[in-house]
């Protein structure tokens, strides 16, 4: 195996206190890690933990420069570097196997492997006007490609066009491309096995071992804790832009790792109210399947009781966000749903709104708000569309005009009630801070006077003070107005302090339903897909 | 104070400031060289009333998320067919204008629906598709005008007796019928009251429309397909509604234009009519994704004032029609400026 | 059957031409004489469209700006008394740097209007036309000293509507003089022009096989993947535009030396539209076009161009209909190509969102 005996000398890659801010939001708060040559180092963390940003910084992606650069140091082989474009990073010996394949379907396999590094022959024109006019040496290109393909064990014709090849092959063509790079010092694998079948995943891990054996440093980004255990020499856990731990993969349990990824509960739980809640089902969901890119739901069945606060948790990409999106008609869904006993049609966003459902999306900027418009309009829009609120009466519904005064009065009321920091109801929403934008989204949902409210990632990207406020508003909605809440969040602590029950998903299916005070181990296991023993789920008192 | 002026200047953008300055310079020179300011102002106002509705037609398209409607000629052709029919039937006066508008609108609604459907399938390239669809339809119609079975002798070629003439005179039928209605003169300026009132009335209707439920939905859906869907709005439907509106307004706009100009221009005249209108609304402050009535009013006035005044003023010194060259530069320069502002994938 | 559907457009077009030829009773001699001339003088303009298509910039409606560079050079050469092939070479030497500058400006515009390159090119062409008019209708002779009573309007400034190019006419065409007799008339065969066209075809093919060509092809497929691979996408877009503009300038010069007169204000206006329509008629699309299609399209389009008015006269008694028809066909072909391209792209995006 890639034992520590093959690693030696200064680390190939060292990150020191990397800091990155996007528009006032600190996405990376001082991350450090190091990888030696021949070492396989796993980088584990939720979506939003900062992994992609870290990779963008490493690779010199323009998006980093365009948003103010980064703080801290990147050292390659002991020497500080600062890349401003991917070409530089690659020159210095960095390679990456991407999560979304970076292949050109119209090019042949060999052309993809050699993209922008084609072997070429000079000619008089090229000597005059630059290397760009050198003729591509197809024979050598095919030979090199053949060699790289053989090294990764992919037995296909290197002159085939990439379009139409199975997904597994494409992944290995990506790897072949990196294998072909002679001066490779560090290779990053970004969620490589996400789309592979069992046997292909195994072959991929083999290729990782091969890289390490040849002295290349390997950085392996993944969710799959079982793979981390199988192959990594060392690991770093990233949480909320900070390093949450560097346990030894060989010696640490999956549960412990899962715990570190999601954080420890903080603050008093708002309490379980089993007895107080009615048993009447508000929402009954059977065999829900949602085709949401990145958060697919395979088969989820659950019952939401009237008046409860139900939490939905799980690792990123396992489908928790897809449940609300599917019910609210934003992504194609199948299954059987009934609302307060009556059948409820899926794939109809309008119907969801008119039947008393509301949704605060995780995608604040994309789906939640019209940035260029005023606060008052944003708040009023859904209610205007679905229930005809804020309109003057008129025989023809389509031509009822806006009740501007009513809309403004309502906005003022909401601004006060939710403590939205703004210069006034007409201010453009995009000028507000993240926390205040979220309050506007909440106000919009509240204007619908819903019976059931779905909230995805209620406090993502918001500062501490506003976080508290948002959660208070939600609790008040539930306790005082009787709104049934379904809160989906990556922050387990938040769910445990807020909810009456917590549903955990793994790979698009329900893994467990736990009370908020169930032991940490139970949560960790459920999110990692392990069986949660009945005893562990029992109640307070049993610890991990 | 300085900071405020500077921020207004930055928002307005260099091209608009230059154009506004140019207008001021032209009028100043006209005054200084003792030209008949009254007639210059009259002509400017007449041209605003003449072109106004065509510029206004662009607003629903921009607010509906369709970008700059280079396919304006589609609606214009509908209006021209209306004019031809009303002339062929010898209906004059305001009734003639109304008849032409009615026929034009009747054709523009299905045309707008079809156009909107096509734009829905070609998202991201609406402007290009609209441009060439408009060109193709105008040149296809040219063949139709040539073969049209109209019989009214004032409309068809004297020799051969078949096929419509290139320009049809409205003299004695409804030439300037709106312009002259309630027209009055003050301080040397003759105001084309009827046409102005018609323009303002239609502006008001559009303003009112975008405060109705349907209008609000159209505008809300424009930027963001997923946002619209989440709010229960079908942006496929609102885009078609916007397309119908813009096409109908274009049809009405060309009827008003023709009565003011005194001629109905067929064949290749409508080919390039979208471009000056687009320049007008952009000069008034609109962008590819946002437009207001104020943009329409201000922009139409500024651009038409330049076109009206430039020739008489410069012809005192320069031989040749520099106003046409100036128009090409200002008009297309403005559109180019708007296209190269960052943001958006609308093509 | 699959072959048939892929080549539907050129086949349809060929059928249309054939129908027109029969209807107008056009003689082979006439057709050949027209084609010899038209293919020779128009092909390079059509070829200039290929590189931007490859690089993902779509149809370069801005080639009219390159054509203007060519015209400027022609005007200057005639003014300075250039003759024959030497004069033509001088024009070529002047046109090239001018076209490079124009191409750089256009490329810069394209980079500022990503996703809207085609409209931007179209409008930029109109704008450049305005600037061109400003220079040649007003500035020449007044602000720019230009003493040439034969070329300048009587008022002392502004170029006349037509500039006589007989001094350099057929400079390239007749470099290798050749004639063939057919049905009683003597047809000029511009061998040298054809050689030039062939050279440019081969040069384009060779260019596609260079590293730069490979980079452009990558960009045309997926600019994001290309950028990740370290390809300087923005810089290459400008290079592609410059190459296209320069080729257009050379193409326009080749065109002018055959026509023999320069319509100062109109020659270049329809250049973009006709060249693009010609390319698309061969079955090329907004995202894919080959050298073979460029030549085939030129032949087909210009055949229709010649045949249409004659067919109109024969069928409907009015040549005008034929003229309208050929313009309509050009616009329609471009519209269909744009719609197909946008339809495909929108569909791909919708699929990607659903996954």
- The nearest alpha carbon in chain C to B147 belongs to C321
Beta bridge partners of A290: A297, A333
pLDDT score recorded for residue B312: 83
**Mean per-residue pLDDT, B152-170:** 78
Contact B231 A382 (CB under 8 A): yes
User: Is B230 at the interface with chain A, CB within 8 A?
Assistant: yes
**Is C171's pLDDT higher than 80?**
no
Please, which residues 48-77 of chain C have a Cβ atom closer than 8 Å to chain B?
Answer: none
Where do we find the tokens 């609120």?
A: A389
Answer yes or no: do A236 and A378 share one domain.
Answer: no
- Report the sign of the C-alpha dihedral through residues A405, B287, C56, A128, in that order: negative
Please indicate, yes or no, if residue A280 is contained in any of the structural domains: no
What is the H or E stretch that residue A189 is in? strand A186-190
- For position C208, what pLDDT does the model report? 93
**C344 in B contact zone (CB under 8 Å):** no
Long-range contacts of A445-449 (CB under 8 A, 24+ apart): A445/A358, A445/A359, A445/A360, A445/A382, A446/A358, A446/A414, A446/A477, A447/A379, A447/A380, A447/A382, A447/A383, A447/A389, A447/A410, A447/A414, A448/A353, A448/A356, A448/A358, A448/A382, A448/A383, A448/A386, A448/A387, A449/A356, A449/A383, A449/A387
Kindly list the residues from chain B whose CB atom is less than 8 angstroms away from the CB atom of residue C120.
336, 339-340
C 140-199 near B (Cβ less than 8 A): 153, 155, 157-158
Can you tell me the distance from the alpha carbon of A508 to that of A510, in angstroms, rounded to the nearest whole number?
7
Q: What is the mean pLDDT of chain B?
A: 88
One domain, residues A248 and A297:
no
The CA distance from B166 to the nearest CA of chain C, in Å, is: 13
Q: Could you tell me what percent of chain C has a pLDDT over 90? A: 46
How many CB pairs below 8 Å do chains B and C form together? 137
Question: In chain A, which residues touch C (CB < 8 A)?
Answer: 62, 85-87, 90, 98, 102-107, 111, 115-116, 118, 120, 126, 131-136, 291, 293, 331-332
* Rounded average pLDDT over B54-65: 96
Q: What is the pLDDT of residue A371?
A: 83
Domain that holds residue A115: 31-252
User: Could you tell me which chains touch chain A, where touching means 3 or more CB pairs under 8 A?
Assistant: B, C
Hey, is the C-beta of B223 within 8 angstroms of any chain A C-beta?
Answer: yes
Task: Kindly list the residues from chain A whose CB atom is less than 8 angstroms away from the CB atom of residue C230.
Answer: 85-87, 90, 116
Cβ(A367)–Cβ(B226) under 8 Å? yes
**Radius of gyration (C-alpha) of chain C in whole angstroms:** 21
Would you call C259 an interface residue with chain B, using a CB distance cutoff of 8 Å?
Answer: no
Structure tokens at A385: 């569309």
Which of A364-368, B277-281, C243-247, C284-288 is predicted least confidently? A364-368
Q: Collapse the DSSP code of A508 into the 3-class scheme (helix H, G, I; strand E, B; otherwise coil) and give the result.
A: coil
- Is there a single domain that holds both residue A223 and residue A292? no
A355: left (phi over 0), alpha (psi -120 to 50) or beta: alpha
The stretch C268-280 carries a mean pLDDT of: 89
pLDDT in tens, B242-301: 999 999 999 999 999 999 998 999 999 999 999 999 999 999 999 998 999 999 999 999
pLDDT of residue A9: 67
Asked if C211 lies within 8 A of A105 by C-beta distance, the reply is no
B211 touches A: beta carbon within 8 Å: yes
Contact A401 B220 (CB under 8 A): no
Length of chain C measured in residues: 355
Per the CB < 8 Å rule, is A87 touching C228? no
A450/B contact by beta carbon, under 8 A: no
Question: How many Cβ pairs within 8 Å bridge chains A and C?
Answer: 70
**Is the same domain home to A486 and A432?**
yes
Has residue A226 been placed in a domain? Answer: yes
- Across the interface, of B143, B322, B327, the residue whose CB is closest to C321 is B143
Yes or no, beta carbons of B336 and C119 under 8 Å apart: no
If asked whether residues A382 and A425 sit together in one domain, one would say yes
Give C-chain residues touching A293 at CB under 8 angstroms.
353-355
Of residues B208, B224, B233, nearest to A401 (C-beta): B208
* Cα Rg of chain A, angstroms: 26
Does residue A366 lie within any of the structural domains? yes
CA distance, residue C95 to nearest chain B CA (Å): 23
pLDDT of residue B104: 96
Question: Per-residue confidence of chain A (544 residues) as pLDDT tens digits?
Answer: 333 333 456 889 999 999 998 776 778 889 999 999 899 999 987 665 678 888 889 988 888 888 888 999 999 988 999 998 888 898 899 998 887 788 999 899 999 999 999 999 998 888 888 888 899 999 999 999 999 998 888 888 999 999 888 888 888 898 899 888 888 999 999 888 777 777 888 888 888 898 899 889 999 888 777 788 889 999 998 877 888 889 998 888 777 777 777 665 445 555 556 545 666 788 999 999 999 887 889 999 999 998 899 999 988 778 999 999 999 999 999 999 999 888 999 999 999 999 999 999 988 888 888 888 899 999 999 999 889 899 998 888 888 899 999 999 999 999 998 888 888 899 999 888 888 899 999 999 999 999 999 999 998 777 777 788 888 899 999 988 889 999 999 888 888 888 999 999 988 899 999 988 888 778 877 877 766 554 444 444 433 3
Taking residue A181's Cβ as centre, other Cβ atoms within 10 Å add up to 17
Contacts of C143 in chain B (CB under 8 A): none
Chain A residue numbers touching C355 (CB-CB < 8 A): 291, 293
Mark yes or no for CB contact C229/A103 under 8 Å.
no
Interface contact C321-B135, CB threshold 8 A: no
Same-domain status, A294 and A430: yes
pLDDT of residue B161: 67
Residues C208 and C200: their CA atoms lie apart, in Å, by 12
Q: How much is the average pLDDT of C66-89?
A: 88
Tens digit of pLDDT for each residue in C90-114?
999 999 999 999 999 999 999 999 8
Identify the pLDDT of residue B202: 96
Distance CA C330, CA C324 (A): 10
One domain, residues A418 and A509: yes
User: Which of A236, A252, A268 is the last residue before a domain boundary?
Assistant: A252
Q: How far apart are CA A305 and CA A483, in angstroms?
A: 11
**Residues of A whose CB is below 8 A from B233:** 350, 385
Q: How far is the alpha carbon of A489 from chain B, nearest alpha carbon, in Å?
A: 20
Q: Is the pLDDT of residue B150 over 50?
A: yes
Residues of chain C found within 8 Å of residue B342, distances taken between Cβ atoms: 112
- B152 pLDDT above the threshold of 70: yes
Q: Does A353 touch chain B (CB under 8 A)?
A: yes
C206: nearest CA in chain A? Answer: A135
- Considering only residues 279 to 318 of chain C, which have any Cβ-Cβ distance to chain B shorter than 8 Å? 316, 318
CATH number at residue A398: 3.40.50.300
Q: Kindly state the tokens that stand for B85.
A: 């029919």
Do both A42 and A113 map to the same domain? Answer: yes
- In this complex, do B325 and C138 lie within 8 Å of one another by their Cβ atoms? yes
Whether the CB of B129 is below 8 Å from some CB of chain C: the reply is yes
Confidence at B52, pLDDT banded by 50, 70, 90: very high
Q: Does the distance separating the beta carbons of B318 and C324 come in below 8 Å? A: no
Q: Within an 8 Å CB–CB cutoff, is residue A454 touching chain B?
A: no
Subunit contact A136:C210, Cβ cutoff 8 A: yes
What is the percent of chain B where pLDDT is above 70? 97
Q: What is the mean pLDDT of residues B299-316?
A: 87
- pLDDT attached to residue A534: 46
∠ CA(B218), CA(B220), CA(B221), 5° rounding? Answer: 70
What residues in C contact B331, CB-CB < 8 Å?
A: 126
Q: Tens digit of pLDDT for each residue in C291-302?
A: 999 999 999 999
Closest Cβ opposite residue C155 in set B319, B328, B342: B319
CB within 8 Å: C119 and B121: no
Q: Which of residues 215-244 of B touch C (CB under 8 A)?
A: none
Q: C5 falls in which pLDDT band (50, 70, 90)?
A: low
pLDDT band at B37; cut points 50, 70, 90: confident
CA–centroid distance for A502 within its chain: 20
pLDDT band of residue B132 (cuts 50, 70, 90) is: very high
Instruction: Please answer yes or no on whether A134 and C211 come within 8 Å at the CB atom.
Output: yes
The pLDDT of residue C355 is above 70: no
Please check the confidence at residue C3 and state whether its pLDDT lies above 70.
no
**Nearest chain C alpha carbon to A177:** C229
**C-alpha neighbours within 13 Å on the C-beta side of residue C187:** 18
Say if B346 is an interface residue toward chain C (CB within 8 Å).
Answer: yes
- Nearest 5°: the CA angle C218, C221, C227 is 55
Q: What is the ipTM of this complex?
A: 0.89
Nearest CB to C218: which of A85, A104, A131? A104
Contact, A287 vs A257, CB < 8 A? no
Does B142 reach chain C within 8 Å, measured CB to CB?
yes
* A307 shares a domain with A395: yes
Instruction: State residue B205's pLDDT score.
Output: 96
Of B211, B214, B226, the CB nearest to A330: B226
Residues of C in contact with B289 (CB under 8 A): none
> Touching check for B204 and chain A: CB below 8 Å?
no
Report the SS3 class of residue B71: coil
Q: Which chains touch C (3 or more CB pairs under 8 A)?
A: A, B
What is the structure's pLDDT at A277?
Answer: 65
Domain count, chain A: 2
In chain B, what percentage of residues exceed pLDDT 90? 52
**pLDDT (tens digit, 9 = 90+) per residue, C193-227?**
899 999 999 999 999 999 999 999 999 999 989 98
């Amino acid at each position: 195996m890639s034992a520590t005996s093959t690693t030696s000398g200064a680390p190939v890659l060292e990150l020191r206190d990397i800091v990155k801010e996007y528009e006032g939001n600190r996405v990376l708060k001082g991350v450090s890690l190091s990888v030696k040559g021949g070492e396989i180092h796993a980088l584990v963390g939720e979506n939003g933990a900062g992994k992609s940003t870290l990779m963008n910084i490493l690779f010199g992606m323009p998006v980093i420069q365009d948003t103010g650069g980064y703080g801290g140091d990147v050292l390659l082989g002991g020497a500080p570097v600062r890349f401003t474009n991917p070409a530089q990073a690659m020159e210095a010996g960095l390679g990456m196997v991407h999560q979304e394949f970076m292949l050109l379907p119209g090019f042949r396999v060999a052309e993809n492997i050699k993209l922008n590094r084609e072997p070429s022959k000079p000619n008089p024109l090229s000597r005059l006007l630059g290397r760009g006019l050198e003729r591509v040496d197809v024979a050598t290109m095919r030979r090199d490609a053949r060699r790289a393909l053989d090294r990764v064990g992919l037995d296909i014709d290197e002159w085939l066009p990439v379009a139409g090849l199975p997904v597994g092959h494409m992944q290995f063509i990506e790897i072949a491309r990196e294998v072909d790079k002679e001066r490779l010092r560090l290779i990053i694998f970004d969620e490589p096995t996400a789309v592979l079948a069992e046997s292909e995943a195994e072959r991929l891990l083999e290729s990782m071992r091969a890289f390490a054996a040849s002295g290349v440093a390997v950085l392996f980004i993944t969710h799959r804790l079982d793979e981390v255990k199988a192959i990594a020499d060392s690991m770093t856990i990233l949480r909320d832009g900070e390093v949450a731990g560097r346990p030894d993969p060989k010696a640490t349990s999956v549960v412990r790792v899962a715990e570190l990824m999601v954080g420890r509960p903080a603050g008093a739980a708002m309490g379980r109210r089993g007895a107080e809640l009615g048993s009447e089902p508000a929402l009954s969901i059977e065999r829900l399947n949602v085709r949401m890119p990145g958060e697919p739901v395979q088969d989820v069945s659950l019952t939401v009781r009237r008046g409860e606060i139900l939490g939905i948790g799980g690792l990123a990409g396992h489908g928790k966000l897809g449940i609300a999106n599917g019910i609210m008609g934003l992504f194609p869904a199948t299954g059987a749903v009934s609302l307060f006993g009556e059948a409820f049609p899926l794939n109809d966003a309008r119907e969801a709104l008119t039947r008393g459902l509301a949704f605060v999306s995780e995608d604040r900027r994309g789906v939640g708000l019209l940035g260029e418009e005023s606060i008052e309009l944003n708040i009023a829009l859904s209610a205007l569309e679905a229930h005809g609120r804020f309109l003057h009466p008129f025989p023809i519904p389509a031509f009822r005009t806006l009740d501007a005064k009513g809309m403004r009065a309502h906005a003022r009321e909401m601004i006060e009630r939710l403590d939205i920091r703004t210069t006034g109801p007409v201010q453009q929403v995009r000028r507000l801070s993240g926390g205040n934008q979220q309050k506007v989204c909440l106000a919009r949902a509240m204007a619908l006077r819903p019976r059931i409210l779905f909230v995805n990632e209620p406090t993502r990207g918001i500062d501490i003070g506003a976080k508290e406020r948002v959660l208070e508003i939600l609790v008040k909605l539930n306790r005082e107005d009787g709104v049934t809440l379904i809160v989906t969040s990556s922050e387990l602590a938040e769910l445990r302090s807020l909810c009456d029950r917590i549903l955990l998903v793994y790979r698009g299916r329900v893994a467990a339903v736990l009370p908020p005070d169930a032991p940490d181990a139970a949560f960790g296991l459920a999110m990692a897909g392990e069986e949660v023993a009945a005893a562990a789920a029992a109640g307070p008192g049993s610890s991990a | 104070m300085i900071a405020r002026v500077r921020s207004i200047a930055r928002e307005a953008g260099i091209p608009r400031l230059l154009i506004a300055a140019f207008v001021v310079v032209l009028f100043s020179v006209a005054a200084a060289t003792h030209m008949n300011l009254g007639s210059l102002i009259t002509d400017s106002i007449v041209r605003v009333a003449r072109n106004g509705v065509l510029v206004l037609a662009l607003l629903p398209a921009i607010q509906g998320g369709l970008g700059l409607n280079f396919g304006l000629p589609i609606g214009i052709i509908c209006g021209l067919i209306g004019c031809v029919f009303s002339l062929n039937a010898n209906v004059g006066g305001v009734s003639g204008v109304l008849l032409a508008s009615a026929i034009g609108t009747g054709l523009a609604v299905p045309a707008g629906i079809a156009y909107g459907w096509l734009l829905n399938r070609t998202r991201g390239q609406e402007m290009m598709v609209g441009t060439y669809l408009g060109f193709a339809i105008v040149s296809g119609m040219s063949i139709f005008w040539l073969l049209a079975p109209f019989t009214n002798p004032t409309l068809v070629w004297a020799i051969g007796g078949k096929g419509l003439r290139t320009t049809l005179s409205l003299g004695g039928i409804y030439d300037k019928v709106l312009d002259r209605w309630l027209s009055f003169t003050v301080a040397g300026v003759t105001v084309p009251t009827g046409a102005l009132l018609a323009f303002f009335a239609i502006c008001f209707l559009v303003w009112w429309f975008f405060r109705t439920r349907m209008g609000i939905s159209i505008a809300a859906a424009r930027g963001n397909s997923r946002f619209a869907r989440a709010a229960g709005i079908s942006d496929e439907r609102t885009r078609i509604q916007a397309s119908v509106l813009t096409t109908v307004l274009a049809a009405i706009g060309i009827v008003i234009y023709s009565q003011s100009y005194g001629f109905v221009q067929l064949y290749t005249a409508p080919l390039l009519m979208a471009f000056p209108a687009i320049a007008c609304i952009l000069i008034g402050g609109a962008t590819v994704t946002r437009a207001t009535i104020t943009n329409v009013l201000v922009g139409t006035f500024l651009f038409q004032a330049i076109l009206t005044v430039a020739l008489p003023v410069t012809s005192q010194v320069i031989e040749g029609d520099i106003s046409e060259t100036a128009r090409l530069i200002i008009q297309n320069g403005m559109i180019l400026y708007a296209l190269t502002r960052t943001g958006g994938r609308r093509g | 059957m699959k072959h048939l559907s892929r080549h539907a457009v050129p086949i349809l077009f060929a059928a249309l031409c054939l129908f027109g030829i029969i209807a107008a009773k056009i003689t082979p001699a006439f057709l050949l004489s027209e084609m010899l001339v038209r293919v020779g003088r128009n092909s390079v303009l059509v070829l200039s469209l290929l590189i931007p298509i490859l690089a993902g910039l779509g149809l370069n409606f801005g080639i009219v700006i390159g054509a203007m560079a060519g015209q400027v050079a022609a005007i200057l050469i005639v003014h300075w008394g250039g003759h024959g092939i030497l004069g033509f070479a001088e024009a070529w030497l002047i046109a090239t740097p001018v076209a490079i500058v124009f191409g750089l400006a256009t490329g810069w515009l394209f980079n500022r209007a990503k996703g809207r390159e085609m409209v931007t090119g179209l409008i930029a062409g109109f704008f450049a036309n305005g600037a061109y008019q400003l220079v040649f209708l007003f500035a020449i002779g007044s602000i720019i000293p230009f003493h040439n009573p034969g070329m300048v309007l009587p008022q002392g400034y502004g170029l006349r509507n037509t500039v006589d190019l007989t001094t350099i006419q057929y400079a390239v065409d007749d470099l290798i003089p050749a004639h063939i007799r057919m049905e009683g008339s003597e047809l000029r065969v511009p061998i040298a022009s054809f050689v030039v066209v062939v050279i440019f075809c081969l040069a384009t093919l060779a260019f596609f096989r260079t590293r730069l060509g490979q980079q452009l092809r990558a960009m045309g497929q997926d600019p994001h993947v290309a950028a990740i691979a370290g390809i300087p996408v923005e810089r290459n877009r400008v290079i592609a535009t410059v190459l296209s503009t320069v080729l257009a300038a050379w193409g326009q010069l080749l065109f002018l030396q055959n026509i023999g007169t320069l319509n100062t204000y109109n020659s270049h206006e329809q250049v973009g539209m006709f060249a693009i329509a010609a390319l698309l008629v061969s079955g090329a699309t907004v995202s894919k076009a080959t050298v073979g299609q460029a030549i085939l399209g030129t032949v087909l389009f210009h055949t229709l161009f010649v045949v249409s008015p004659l067919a109109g006269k024969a069928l409907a008694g009015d040549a005008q209909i034929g003229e309208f028809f050929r313009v309509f066909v050009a616009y329609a072909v471009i519209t269909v190509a744009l719609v197909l391209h946008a339809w495909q792209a929108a569909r791909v995006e919708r699929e990607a969102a659903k996954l």
